[in-house]
Amino acid sequence: MKVMILAAGKGKRLRPITNRIPKPLVRINGVPILAHHFEKLYVAGFRQVFVNISYLGHLIMKEFGNSYKGLNICYSLEPDPPLETAGGILFARPWDINNKPFLVINADVWCDWNVRNAEMIANGKKFENKLAHLVLIDRTVNEEGDFYMQNNLLYTKNDKSNNISKKLTYSGIGVYKPGIFNQKNRGKSSKLRTLLEKAINNEQVSGEKHTGCWFDIGTTERLEKLREFTKKE
């Protein structure tokens, strides 16, 4: 199974740290957060990962080269400004000639979700008529959340008559089929949220709620929280 790590953002909210390095090279316990992803994927048995880069992307290539242990790294160099989430995935095309599902991970998240589950999800019977499966978490402070979920099916609106759960937040981890990108032109900027909402309205997106560890490093405050957490592990 192929993996795509989204690493092209500028990390504006992490300045001044990201004035000199891209966000995926921000260190946690002395190691770039991107290396933590690589290690987790390698241990889980993955052997190829696509990484989209743009802002200071040459520093990522210099740091890792074309491999991490036995994990082959394929870089997708995007123009400036980057192509947004869906545009970046379509530009990299992280799927094989058989159009098999692939795993997508945001570079700036830290999560103990078991990445081995991605293969089981992709091969599961329930995924046959789906275009995506998202890992969701409880809303974090000051966030409205992204989607509602009932019986592992995602919704954009809460129909109270169906007793749908409270709104949950997308963790930045998901399994996708190439077909969700069929109507988009390669090289054009587009957001993943737009494609997901269309698929959700057609009941083609499943999900699960992760109750374990999850952090992001989108701001300096969140970065420090993660660093404090990892010191206690």
Please give the average per-residue pLDDT across 61-69, as a whole number. Answer: 94
**Amino acid 159: pLDDT:** 59
**Amino acid 161: pLDDT:** 47
Q: Does domain 3-232 have CATH number 3.90.550.10?
A: yes
- Burial of 61-87, coded b for 16+ CB within 10 Å and e otherwise, reads eeebeeebeebebebbebeeebbbbbb
- How far is 77 from 57, CA to CA, in rounded Å? 8
The conformation of residue 164, written as its DSSP 8-state character, comes to P
Q: Is the pLDDT of residue 68 over 70?
A: yes
- How far is 197 from 152, CA to CA, in rounded Å? 15
Least confident range from 134-138, 161-165, 170-174, 222-226: namely 161-165
**Amino acid 201: pLDDT:** 92
In tens, the pLDDT along 123-132 reads: 999 999 999 9
- How far is 213 from 138, CA to CA, in rounded Å? 11
| 206, β-bridge pairs | 133, 153
In tens, the pLDDT along 198-226 reads: 999 999 999 999 999 999 988 888 899 99
Spell out the domain ranges in the chain: 3-232
Query: Higher model confidence: residue 146 or residue 104?
Result: 104
